[in-house]
A and B are shown apart, each in its own frame.
Chain A
Amino acid sequence: MTRALKQRLSAAALWLVTFLLMVIMCIPGLWVVLSAFRPNREILARPPVWVPERLTLNNFAKIFGLGEAQVAIPVGSYFMNSLVIALTSTFVALVIGMAGGYAFARFRFRFKNSLFLSLMLLRTVPAIALSLPLFMLWSRLGIIDTQMGLIIVYIALNVPFTIWLIDGFFRQIPMSLSEAAQVDGCTRWQAFWKIEFPLAKGGIAAAGVFAFLTSWNEYALAAQLTRSTDSKTLPVGLMDFTAQFTIDWAGMSAMAVIIIVPALILTFLVQKHLIRGLTFGGVKG
């Protein structure tokens, strides 16, 4: 056997081992996805049915109230609430985060490090701890159980980390590019939009995906600050599948798929920037 062939084979073997490990790691998630397409009967079968005999879309039909509707869960409005809340809060957080990240990356000012750290610390407050006063305050302000109430909270939840990421992306772009543009006749504002923004676009998109995922997946605050179909989000809606002692596993799995798919698509779209962006900000002084 030649050396080259041997190397190719061992590389392939290593890949296979790693691939299998990754698959094993994914099994818990995949199992839920699979269950979304299996009839309840099969999920509950004793002895267990390992190889699915037939796959079905019934579970989805059911939670949308189509066909033989037993559980009428307003998945449609949950989905819309989630979408509106996540998109709006992501957009606003990105705008605020871009301003803040640019300030940290491009200007020197007093107390810079302390300000940065204090932003991060405001983020570390546990959601459940924050939910207590927010619950009381939002009730008084009359924005409890509204999309607006949750949007505001999610903006705050996302601003610090968005700033962390975007600060890092801007710092990767040499200051001299903006300076060259200003010498070339741009205002600082023009230089930002024509030079720095296009270069940081990928990273900003990655920060956006992070913000979206956080809002899309959040439960602890949403559970306390929403009550009705006016504002309940998908993660809170998951609770609808639990009764006192039973859980509708098939319906819940179907809903899980609905929650996962948008997140999945978005993440894969920006995964390249995700990896670079996360670390760059932190390491480069």
Chain B
Amino acid sequence: MAEISLKKVVKSYGRTPVVHGIDLEIADNEFVVLVGPSGCGKSTTLRMIAGLEDISDGEIRIRGRLVNDLPPRKRNISMVFQNYALYPHMSVRDNLGFGLKIAGQSRSVVAERVAEAAGILGLSDLLDRLPAELSGGQRQRVAMGRAIVRHPDAFLFDEPLSNLDAKLRGQMRAEIKKLHQKVASTIVYVTHDQIEAMTLADRIVVMRDGHIDQVGTPMEVFNHPVNTFVAAFIGSPPMNQLPAVVDAGRLRLEDGTTIAVPERLRARVRAGQKLILGVRPDDISPEGYGLMEDGESDRVDLLVDIAEPLGMESLIYSRLAGQEVQAKLYGPRLVAPGERLTCRISLSRAHLFDAGTGRNLEAE
């Protein structure tokens, strides 16, 4: 129940800066997900919000209050750790009630809130077990329960699902989503899994090398990536990126193949400009087998390397102008390696990035 604001937040270890002046405003009750490749500074940012790392420069406010110099216990936040950090020598009940007990709550209040949290998370039958006697998913739930009993201003999650197997991860993802609806509160969630980011977030923050590249709703980030990095990072399989030069009003690829410049971008390109054409696999499909067939499009010929039939659709690995290109085929058609496929490329959904800076031409 609180907004969190980061202003020019910097973190250095000794001389090495690892977070370079981050600005971020998180609204009350918002679910914000920090994503980015390993080592980009997500955990560091989260831990600075929690008070577990000193802030080298800048300001962090929670609920308008400057917290730079407050120790974690005075920030009224709770955190779920990657390895759960359950206290091994305490029962589930004591784990859940620990924070309240420290805060000096009466025994009846502790019992009541523990029961409430246990109810929400389905832990009621496990209260007397030790963490060692729980499964991975159950431990994960206890860690979340420990976070919610305290009714904190905000929840911080650091890759809470990365130790679970794929199936459990899916389940727990849904539970976290439900939890957010039930206990309505601000959540900052760190992951390097873009599917988690897409499914959970109100807003996604894409980080790289200690910077924020883009902040936006999942759809904004997916549909309007500000640069090639975000384009490649969000979405699976990743967006195809083809180097191209503007030549006679068309995009000329390295082997001479040309593709029309999307209409909405014509005004923004100059002849001879070096660009990168970005197209998601979903937007390249053999003629008659695509999803988005209306709208503006153009044709290209792909040379098929292999095809992976996935049932209703197939993923096609192919070559175009010496680059590997992935395409999607919707419908019951088999494709053989070595086949030449004429495909439709959806231009209304394609992006152009500057080849030098990697920035999307449409990004302000």
Contacts and interface: CB of A to CB of B under 8 A. Distances in A.
Interface stretch (A113-121, A163-171, A185-193, A220-228): A185-193
A37 B50 CA distance: 66
Contacts of A133: none
A184 B87 CA distance: 12
Contact of A182 (B71, B103, B150): B71
B52 interface: yes
A179 B73 CA distance: 10
A10 interface: no
Given A179-B52, A179-B72, A180-B79, A185 B85 contact: no
| Binding site secondary structure of chain B | loop
B330 interface: no
A187 B52 CA distance: 12
Given A176-B81, A176-B83, A180-B81, A185 B89 contact: no
A171 to B, nearest CB: 15
B238 interface: no
B237 interface: no
B102 interface: yes
B102 A180 contact: no
A199 B88 contact: yes
Size category of the binding interface on chain B: 20 to 34
B77 A183 contact: yes
Interface in B138-156: 146, 150
B99 interface: yes
A110 to B, nearest CB: 9
Of B50, B82, B85, B102, the most chain A CB neighbours within 10 A belong to B85
A177 B81 CA distance: 9
Contacts of A181: 87, 98, 102
A231 to B, nearest CB: 41
B52 A183 contact: yes
A177 B50 contact: no
| Binding site secondary structure of chain A | helix
Given A183-B78, A183-B79, A185-B73, A174 B85 contact: yes
Contacts of A190: 102
Contacts, number: 60
Contact of B150 (A179, A184, A195, A198): A184
Contacts of B73: 182-187
A184 B80 CA distance: 11
A199 B82 CA distance: 20
A199 B90 CA distance: 10
Contacts of A188: 71
Contacts of B150: 184-185
A183 B85 CA distance: 11
A201 to B, nearest CB: 9
A179 B87 contact: no
Given A179-B52, A198-B89, A199-B89, A184 B102 contact: yes
A184 B78 contact: yes
Nearest to B13: A108
B319 to A, nearest CB: 46
A231 B71 CA distance: 49
B354 to A, nearest CB: 41
A185 B50 CA distance: 12
Given A176-B83, A179-B85, A184 B52 contact: no
A186 B52 CA distance: 12
Nearest to B79: A183
Contacts of B87: 177, 180-181, 195
A35 to B, nearest CB: 46
15 contacts: A174-B85, A176-B81, A176-B82, A177-B88, A179-B79, A180-B79, A182-B71, A183-B51, A183-B73, A183-B78, A184-B99, A190-B102, A194-B102, A198-B89, A199-B88
Given A176-B81, A184-B73, A184-B98, 20 more contacts: A174-B83, A176-B85, A179-B50, A179-B52, A179-B72, A180-B87, A181-B87, A182-B71, A182-B73, A183-B72, A183-B77, A183-B78, A184-B78, A184-B99, A184-B102, A185-B99, A185-B102, A185-B150, A186-B102, A188-B71
Top 3 A-B residue pairs of the complex, sorted by shortest distance between their CB atoms? A184-B99, A176-B85, A180-B85
